[in-house]
């Protein structure tokens, strides 16, 4: 009878070991699936970001011109304002009394 109990205990230990191995394998598969899902999500996010960036640059070029064009326009506008200010100073110099 003691031999029968020992045999039963051995069977339980073997079954417990197999169950633990299956749980460990399931955890590994789950971790692998999570890692794969993260990599796929990162790739999808990067592709989306690149597409949105491309669309923005296309929009920017169409409606705002290039950055060089914008900088040139700002420089031109600044020069026009300086010329106008110099003309105003020259025209109104007599009206200002220093005293």
3-class SS letters over the chain: CHHHHHHHHHHHHHHHHHHHHHHHHHHHHHHHHHHHHHHHHHHHHHHHHHHHHHHHHHHHHHHCCCHHHHHHHHHHHHHHHHHHHHHHHHHHCCCCCCC
14: confidence class by pLDDT, cuts 50, 70, 90:
very high
97: confidence class by pLDDT, cuts 50, 70, 90:
low
Which residues does 73 contact at the CB level (< 8 Å), separation at least 6? Answer: 65
Mean pLDDT of the chain: 89
Range 15-49 burial, b when 16+ CB lie within 10 A, else e: eeeeeeeeeeeeeeeeeeeeeeeeeeeeeeeeeee
Q: Is the pLDDT of residue 96 over 60?
A: yes
Write out pLDDT tens, residues 49-95. 999 999 998 988 887 776 777 788 899 999 999 999 999 888 888 77
Q: Is the pLDDT of residue 38 over 90?
A: yes
């Amino acid at each position: 009878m003691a031999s029968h109990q020992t045999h039963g205990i051995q069977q339980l230990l073997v079954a417990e070991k197999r169950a633990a191995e299956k749980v460990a394998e399931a955890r590994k598969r789950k971790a692998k699936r999570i890692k794969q899902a993260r990599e796929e999500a990162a790739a999808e996010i990067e592709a989306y970001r690149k597409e949105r960036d491309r669309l923005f640059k296309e929009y920017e070029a169409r409606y705002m011109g290039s950055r060089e064009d914008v900088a040139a326009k700002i420089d031109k506008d600044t020069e026009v304002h300086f010329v106008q200010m110099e003309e105003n100073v020259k025209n109104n110099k007599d009206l200002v009394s220093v005293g």
